[in-house]
């Protein structure tokens, strides 16, 4: 029995290591290639340790036209998407969690339907609408599209977390003098922070990685992935690695920052 358990534990450990490697190795290789000189990249066999570090490729990439602008656009769109998705999605999630209304279950199911449509199908008619309203080729256009894409998960994630905060706590807050918004802000929101952080992370990642819609909806105000996709297709290999690293790093930083809120702040797991 104990032997079986030991085997079981070893297998779990091995699986964890394998998954970590699966996620980590590509990032390492990209970072390695992006921070090596262009010559060392063509060497054979390729050294797997940073034997010849150089920031030359990276700095050339970062100073090339459109990269800084794309980076700033991506950041604007990403943070804007997070803000909009939370602004609309958190109340939505709260409603789904707290109120029994006609068609709630159907609503939850159909929420995900936006994600069933291919982005191209969505963005071409959207491009028309944005052209008519003058939003075309602005970061707002991309922000709106990304918000629409992020909303279903925002609603579902926050709803799941609001269900975990007992309604009696809100009632207690209201008995002791809080209005419904105050009860939400003082009692529910702090406890729902981990879920809200997860939803924010999700929205940001989605926006940061989304290429197709951003390409269709902009010409000059490209986000970084859209910019990288169009300009780097014909660039030398080394610059593609540099572009990859430039795309991965901010996402990792954002996750690291939000992770703080995912972990619990008062010593217990929620529920």
Partner 1 sequence: MSAVTVQNLVKTYASGGRRATDDVSLEVADGEFLVLVGPSGCGKTTLLRMVAGLETPDSGRVSIGGRDVTDLPARERGLSMVFQSYAIFPHMRVRQNIGFGLTMRKVPRDEFDRRVARAAELLRLTDYLDRYPAQLSGGQRQRVAVARAIVVDAAVLLMDEPLSNLDALLRLQFRAELKRIVSQLGTTTLYVTHDQAEAMSLGDRVAVMRDGRVAQLGPPLSVYDRPSDRFVGGFLGSPPMNFLTARVRDGLLAIGDASLPAPDQLSTWDGRDVVVGVRAENIQVSAQARPGWLPARVEVVEPTGAALLLTVRLGDEQLKVQAPTTFQATPDQPLHLYAPQDSLRFYDPETSLALPLTSPSAASSPSPVTSPSP
Are the CB atoms for 155 and 198 separated by under 8 Å? Answer: no
- According to the binding rule CB under 8 A, does residue 185 interact with partner 1? no
Nearer to partner 1, 129 or 265 (CB): 265
- According to the binding rule CB under 8 A, does residue 39 interact with partner 1? no
Nearer to partner 1, 82 or 173 (CB): 173
Are the CB atoms for 153 and 86 separated by under 8 Å? Answer: no
- Show the site string, 118-157: x = touches partner 1 by CB under 8 A, - = not: ----------------------------------------
Q: Which of 16, 59, 179, 237 binds partner 1 (CB under 8 A)?
A: 179
Q: Which of 24, 50, 190, 236 binds partner 1 (CB under 8 A)?
A: 190
- According to the binding rule CB under 8 A, does residue 99 interact with partner 1? no
DSSP 185: I
Are the CB atoms for 89 and 151 separated by under 8 Å? Answer: yes
First-last CA distance in the chain: 32
- According to the binding rule CB under 8 A, does residue 101 interact with partner 1? no
Q: Which of 22, 44, 99, 176 binds partner 1 (CB under 8 A)?
A: 176
Structure tokens at 187: 């009692």
CA dist., res. 267 & res. 257, Å (int): 19
Q: Please report how close the Cβ of residue 178 comes to partner 1 at its closest, in angstroms.
A: 5
Residue ranges in 216-235 that form contacts with partner 1 under rule CB under 8 A: none
Count of positions on this chain that bind partner 1 (CB under 8 A): 21
Nearer to partner 1, 47 or 164 (CB): 164
Instruction: Choose one: 52-60, 152-160, 167-175, 202-210; the region binding partner 1 (CB under 8 A).
Output: 167-175
What does the CA dihedral 85, 191, 252, 79 come to, rounded to 10 degrees? 30
The number of CA neighbours under 13 Å toward the Cβ of 172 is: 8
Are the CB atoms for 70 and 222 separated by under 8 Å? Answer: yes
- According to the binding rule CB under 8 A, does residue 177 interact with partner 1? yes
Going by C-beta distance under 8 Å and a sequence separation of 6 or more, which residues neighbour residue 159? 92, 93, 94, 96, 97, 108
Instruction: Choose one: 33-41, 61-69, 185-193, 248-256; the region binding partner 1 (CB under 8 A).
Output: 185-193
- According to the binding rule CB under 8 A, does residue 182 interact with partner 1? yes
Nearer to partner 1, 114 or 179 (CB): 179
CA dist., res. 78 & res. 61, Å (int): 22
Are the CB atoms for 222 and 150 separated by under 8 Å? Answer: no
- Rule CB under 8 A: which residues touch partner 1? 166, 168-169, 171-179, 182, 187, 190-191, 265-268, 270
């Amino acid at each position: 029995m104990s032997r079986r358990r030991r085997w079981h534990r070893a297998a779990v450990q091995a699986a964890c290591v394998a998954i970590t490697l699966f996620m980590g190795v590509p990032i390492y290789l990209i970072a390695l290639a992006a921070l090596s000189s262009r010559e060392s990249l063509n060497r054979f066999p390729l050294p797997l340790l940073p034997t010849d570090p150089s920031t030359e490729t990276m700095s050339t990439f970062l100073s090339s036209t459109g990269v800084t602008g794309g980076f700033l656009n991506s950041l604007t769109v990403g943070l804007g998407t997070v803000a909009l998705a939370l602004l609309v999605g958190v109340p939505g999630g709260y409603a789904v969690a707290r109120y029994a209304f006609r068609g709630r279950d159907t609503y939850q199911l159909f929420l995900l339907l936006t994600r069933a449509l291919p982005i191209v199908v969505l963005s071409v008619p959207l491009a028309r609408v944005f052209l008519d309203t003058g939003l075309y080729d602005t970061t707002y256009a991309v922000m709106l599209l990304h918000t629409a894409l992020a909303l279903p998960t925002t609603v579902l994630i926050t709803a799941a977390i609001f269900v975990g905060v007992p309604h009696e706590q809100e009632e207690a807050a209201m008995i002791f003098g809080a209005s419904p918004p105050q009860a939400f802000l003082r009692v529910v929101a702090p406890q729902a922070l981990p879920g809200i952080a997860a939803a924010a992370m999700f929205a940001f990642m989605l926006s940061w990685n989304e290429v197709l819609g951003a390409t269709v909806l902009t010409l000059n105000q490209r986000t970084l992935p859209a910019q990288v996709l169009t300009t780097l297709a014909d660039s030398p290999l080394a610059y593609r690695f540099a572009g990859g690293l430039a795309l991965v790093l901010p996402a990792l930083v954002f996750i690291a920052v939000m992770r703080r809120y995912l972990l619990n702040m008062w010593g217990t797991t929620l529920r």
